Structure 1
Amino acid sequence: MRLAVLILTLFSSLARASDSLSPLTREEISRGWLLAFDGESTFGWKWEGSLEVKDGNLIFGGTQKTEAFSTLKLTKAKAVLVFSLEGPGIPSLTVGGKQIKLVAHKGMQRLELEINPTGDSLEPIVELNVPAGSQIVFSKIACIPMGGISLFNGKDLNGWKPFRGEKYKSVYSVRPEGWLNVKNGPGDLQTDRKFDNFVLQLECFSKGKALNSGIFFRCIADQYQNGYEMQIHNGYKENDRTKPTDFGTGAIYRRIPVRKVVSNDFEWFAMTLVAEGRHLRTFVNGYPVVDWTDDRKPNDNPRQGSKTASGHISIQGHDPTTDLNFRNLRILELPKTKE
């Protein structure tokens, strides 16, 4: 019996991301699942009343009335919530704009549902109104965007174009496995299409220690890497993942660093960018690392101010050491937002 438990525990640990930095399994990470609750903090939530994390659970309510919502907004998604109800009152729960009727139930409940399959609205993943004297306790709140389109066909660079010029040295090629390889630098591989509000998801493999690259977005046409940048750099200082080197993987470079370096070199890691107007959220291996609103004055140049207009997406070749693989690049366009 003990041997069976040991084997099950070992298998479970191997299925999860390295160092248990994400509570999602490798399969969930590769598919694009995102955590609205990271299992350890209130990051990504706004509330009035009482919200706390205890024993790996996110607890809303208590002695005072509590209203809360997730800052993650999606459309065309699937959500999974695992929760229990405590106290006499029944909370009001809205998932992706859909009111959920809750009933008293002992123990944990599991809720799975699709969010706005028509894609015509953009709502918080979860909104809550908990009466005083009651609680709703979540052990899991996760979601996966649905209905995105592929940005890379795994065969050639159709839909992409490298920025031309003698000083640009990057080589962009398609490996036999169907991966996009970026080697050498500097360089800039841009999408033909432009995007403004979207969910961008991809997987990356850094073939060297603390290599530097990035995903630029809302880029100005015919200009070299002139857009926001979602950073790729798995380095961190003093053996402390909360001290990223050069802003860290998932950062909005030169704007806000990640709160933790979740990914590792020499293994595949997933990245997600949710660009909703001025509000930008990023996830690495499904774990939320950035929740930032660009409050600068509007400007057509994102280096000088906030830009919500559409622009190209591009992959950076940073320098001669650059050597990274990319796969499963996909994008889901989101509705326009009011500024």
Structure 2
Amino acid sequence: MKKLNYLFCLIMITFSCKQKIEITKVEKEEVTKDIQSEKEITDPTATEVWEPEPKVISFNNNNVPSDAIVLFDGTDLKAWVSAKDSISPASWTVHPDKTMTVKPGSGDIQTKQNFGSIQLHLEWSAPDIIQGEGQGRGNSGVFFQNKYEVQILDSYQNRTYANGQATSIYKQHIPLANATKAPDQWQTYDIIFHQPEFDGEGNKTKSGTFTVIHNGVLVQDHVEILGTTEYIGPPKNPAHGKGPIKLQDHGNLVQYRNIWVREL
């Protein structure tokens, strides 16, 4: 009886191995057929896709895309309000050269309009007169949805903590490089922001991300936003929807010009 059981087991093992070999052969044949079928395409038009056709973008004299929402073109601050109450007019100083300067003590300003995921372009310059050091030199910031800050700071020959220098995702991500120009020159930020997602119970289901290009240099490469950019303590993740863009009054005479967004 034992011999019969042994013989039966041996037959089953042999059959199983043979079946696996046959399946493997079939799989290899299918892969070979796929490769051969790909090789059989000789007409280049067979892989052309014509629809949908990307929309055409034009540019004005300031190189602003035609589908952009202009937040500041040097004319006025009508797109902005005080962040203190979200109603009062923004009181920062607008100059004849189409720039604006932080008005120390007046508080942050924010957009009237709320935004989700966006492409943001802004240009800024550190104060003309260099004063202070570290975080006290040319400090401001641009906040997305009033919660997530990309740092603005005069980081030209000005050492501070690495996750708090210019273009850092404040206290979360250190820039890949310090591309800050001298204070007498204008800095350009081009930022891609993808907002976080939350379920119906307020739980975060997908983190937001930042990509930042500073003066043409990639300094944040699709980094994960861990939560709110807190000055003290760890990030928080309260559920929220769209929100305004905010510029920070940190008491320094930081200048801004040419600010626009494209909704993604």
- TM class by shorter chain equals 0.5 to 0.7
Partner of 1:331: 261
The Cα of 1:295 is off from its aligned counterpart by 5.1
Which stretches of structure 1, 4 residues or longer, exceed 6 Å deviation after superposition? Answer: none
Match 1:204 to one of 124, 133, 145: 124
Give me the identity figure in percent: 27
Paired amino acid for 1:256: H
Is 1:294–2:225 an aligned residue pair?
Answer: yes
The Cα of 1:146 is off from its aligned counterpart by 6.5
Is 1:267–2:194 an aligned residue pair?
Answer: no
Determine the C-alpha separation between the residues in 2 that align with 1:185 and 1:99.
58
Paired amino acid for 1:294: I
The Cα of 1:171 is off from its aligned counterpart by 5.3
Alignment CA distance shift 1:256-1:99 (3 Å): farther
The Cα of 1:179 is off from its aligned counterpart by 0.8
Q: Which has the higher strand share?
A: 1
Paired amino acid for 2:150: M
Alignment CA distance shift 1:204-1:235 (3 Å): same
Determine the C-alpha separation between the residues in 1 that align with 2:176 and 2:239.
24
Alignment CA distance shift 1:154-1:236 (3 Å): closer
The Cα of 1:307 is off from its aligned counterpart by 6.3
Structure 1 residues 2-48: Cα deviation after superposition (integer angstroms, max 9, x where no partner): xxxxxxxxxxxxxxxxxxxxxxxxxxxxxxxxxxxxxxxxxxxxxxx
The Cα of 1:196 is off from its aligned counterpart by 1.0
Q: Which has the higher helix share?
A: 2
Structure 1 residues 60-113: Cα deviation after superposition (integer angstroms, max 9, x where no partner): xxxxxxxxxxxxxxxxxxxxxxxxxxxxxxxxxxxxxx979xxxxxxxxxxxxx
Native 8 Å contact 2:81 2:110 kept in 1: yes
| Correspondence 1:138-217 to 2 at 5 A | 147-164=67-84, 172-185=92-105, 187-207=107-127, 208-209=129-130, 210-217=137-144
Partner of 2:23: none
* Greater RCO, CA 8 A, separation 6+: 2
Determine the C-alpha separation between the residues in 2 that align with 1:286 and 1:308.
32
| Correspondence 1:75-114 to 2 at 5 A | none
Aligned pair count?
A: 181
Partner of 2:249: 317
Listed as ranges, the gaps of 5+ residues in structure 2 are 1-46, 58-63, 131-136, 196-207, 229-233
The Cα of 1:280 is off from its aligned counterpart by 1.0
Paired amino acid for 1:214: G
Alignment CA distance shift 1:285-1:307 (3 Å): farther
Partner of 1:255: 172
| Correspondence 1:10-159 to 2 at 5 A | 116-117=54-55, 147-159=67-79
- Length-normalised TM-score, structure 2: 0.59
Paired amino acid for 2:140: S
Q: CA RMSD in A?
A: 3.5
The SS at the match of 1:183 is coil
Paired amino acid for 2:241: A
Alignment CA distance shift 1:246-1:236 (3 Å): farther
- Length-normalised TM-score, structure 1: 0.47
The Cα of 1:235 is off from its aligned counterpart by 2.3
Determine the C-alpha separation between the residues in 1 that align with 2:220 and 2:66.
21
Paired amino acid for 1:267: Q
